[in-house]
Amino acid sequence: MVLAGRQTSGRGRAGRQWNSPAGNFYGSVLLRPNIPAGQGGWYALLAGLALIEALDAALPTPGRIALKWPNDVMAGDAKLAGILLDATIENGVIAWLVIGVGVNLVTAPHVPGRTTASLASLGGTMTPEDLASVLCTRLDHWLGVLPLGSETLRRAWMARAHPEGAALTVDGGRLTGQYVGLDKDGALLLRDGERVVALRGGDVALI
């Protein structure tokens, strides 16, 4: 893992800017999974689960934060942390994978059209160095579990997600429905009227 005290060109999903004031967490983890590219989605879920477990340990009241698919950490409808994965694929195999993590530890930057939160605003205290240590421990745990099968990871992720039935919108309103879990491949299941849609990509927001 590499830590930065600040970032001058931090970015989020879809090329969005990620504001990076001093005191918050900016870390990147380098992995060499050597797995088929089609299995890469599990690493997005794994990273979010490891992060929420690491942050929960610093909160006076556990359970105040939840996962939004695939790996945003939310306090209600406010974003506390985000994760971005970059990978190189060679001959159909993920040769290396970088998990970039940004967490609002002490400051919740203003983001137009979005609500943000910080760990401090929830009563939690954690230094970037302490978070790095705990996060690596939790990543190690789930990286050890994944080769044994994805079902344990899937169930653990759903246990830390927003409640079933939560209203979600995808890609700014392209699709709207209710969260009903993850399928066996880790795709988001969204109930849209009488049908259930499995989503493997998209920008998901709570309504």
C-alpha angle 156/111/11, rounded to 5°? 70
Q: Residue 135's CB: how many other CB atoms inside 10 A?
A: 23
Specify the pTM. 0.93
Percentage with pLDDT > 70 across the chain: 97
143 against 14, higher pLDDT: 143
Residue 16: pLDDT over 70? no
Average pLDDT, the chain: 92
CA distance 61 to 55: 11
Q: Give the per-residue pLDDT at 63.
A: 83
Strands 66-68 and 72-75: antiparallel
| Mean pLDDT computed over 77-93 | 94
Q: State residue 83's pLDDT score.
A: 95
CA dihedral 177→160→199→35, nearest 10 degrees, is: 180
**Pick from 97, 84, 114: nearest CA to 12:** 84
- Provide the pLDDT for residue 114: 84
Q: What is the pLDDT of residues 100-110, one digit of tens each?
A: 999 999 999 88
Map out the domains of the chain with their CATH numbers: 2-162 (3.30.930.10), 164-207 (2.30.30.100)
Residue-wise burial string across 85-105, b where 16 or more C-beta atoms lie within 10 A, e elsewhere: beeeeeeeebeebebbbbbbb
| Distance separating alpha carbons of residues 54 and 39, to the nearest angstrom | 24
Instruction: Express each pLDDT in 48-73 by its tens digit.
Output: 999 999 999 899 988 899 999 999 99
Residue 12: band (very low, low, confident or very high) from pLDDT cuts 50, 70, 90:
low
Where residue 191 falls among pLDDT bands split at 50, 70, 90? Answer: very high
Q: What is the pLDDT of residue 13?
A: 66
